[in-house]
Amino acid sequence: MKTSPFYMAVLLATVLVNVPPTGRCDGAEPARSRASVYPEFTWDHIPLYMHVRKAKSFTDEEIRFLARFPLITFEKATGHRDHGSVEAGTLAAARAVKRINPKAKILYYRNVFVHYGGYAANRELEQIPGAFLRDRNGNTRLVRNRVPAYDLSNPAVRDWWVRACRVVVSDSAIDGVFIDGNVKVLEPGYLARQIGMTQKKQVINGYHLLMKRTREAIGPNELMVANILRARFKNAGLEYLDYFDGSYLEAFFHNVGGIGYEEYVAKGIDAVQRAARAGKIIAFTSGFIRPDLPSRKSSALGIDEQPASVESDAEARAALVYPLAVFLICAEKYSYFRIHEGYSADEGDRWMRWFPEYDRPLGPPQGPATKNGFRYSRDFEHASVTVDIRSRSARIRWK
How many helices and strands in the chain, by DSSP H and E? Answer: 13, 12
Residues in a beta bridge with 71: 49, 105
Task: Reduce the secondary structure of 363-398 to three states and give it as a string.
Answer: CCECCCCEEECCEEEEEECCEEEEEECCCCEEEEEE
The reported pLDDT for the residue numbered 294 is 55
Buried-state track 58-83, b at ≥16 Cβ within 10 A, e below 16: beeebbebbbebbbbbbbbbbbbeeb
Tell me if 114 is assigned to some domain.
Answer: yes
Tell me if 379 is assigned to some domain.
Answer: no
State pTM to two decimals: 0.91
Give, for all 399 residues of the chain, the pLDDT tens digit: 444 443 444 444 444 433 333 333 344 455 667 778 999 999 999 999 999 999 999 999 999 999 999 999 999 999 999 999 999 999 999 999 999 999 999 999 999 999 999 999 999 999 999 999 999 999 999 999 999 999 999 999 999 999 999 999 999 999 999 999 999 999 999 999 999 999 999 999 999 999 999 999 999 999 999 999 999 999 999 999 999 999 999 999 999 988 999 999 999 999 999 999 999 999 999 999 876 655 555 566 788 877 778 888 899 999 999 999 999 999 999 999 999 998 999 988 999 999 999 999 999 999 999 999 999 999 999 999 999 999 999 999 999
Tell me if 321 is assigned to some domain.
Answer: yes
CA 113: distance to chain centroid? Answer: 14
CATH number at residue 108: 3.20.20.70
Task: Reduce the secondary structure of 228-243 to three states and give it as a string.
Answer: CCCCCCCCCCHHHHHH
Q: Which residue range(s) make up the domain with 227?
A: 5-12+46-362
Tell me if 380 is assigned to some domain.
Answer: no
The reported pLDDT for the residue numbered 17 is 39
The reported pLDDT for the residue numbered 14 is 44
Residues 6+ apart with CB under 8 A from 309: 296, 341
The count of residues in the chain is 399
The reported pLDDT for the residue numbered 342 is 87
Query: How far is Cα 184 from Cα 251, in angstroms, rounded to an integer?
Result: 13
Tell me if 131 is assigned to some domain.
Answer: yes
Tell me if 395 is assigned to some domain.
Answer: no
Helix (H, G, I), strand (E, B) or coil at 308: coil
E-assigned strands of the chain?
Answer: 49-52, 71-74, 105-111, 176-180, 223-227, 246-249, 281-287, 335-340, 370-372, 375-379, 383-388, 393-398
Tell me if 124 is assigned to some domain.
Answer: yes
Residue type for position 40: E
Helix (H, G, I), strand (E, B) or coil at 247: strand
Residue type for position 167: V
Tell me if 26 is assigned to some domain.
Answer: no
Angle between the N-to-C axes of helices 155-169 and 86-100, in degrees from 0 to 180, rounded to the nearest 10: 30
Q: For the chain, how many structural domains are there in total? A: 1
Query: How far is Cα 10 from Cα 293, in angstroms, rounded to an integer?
Result: 47
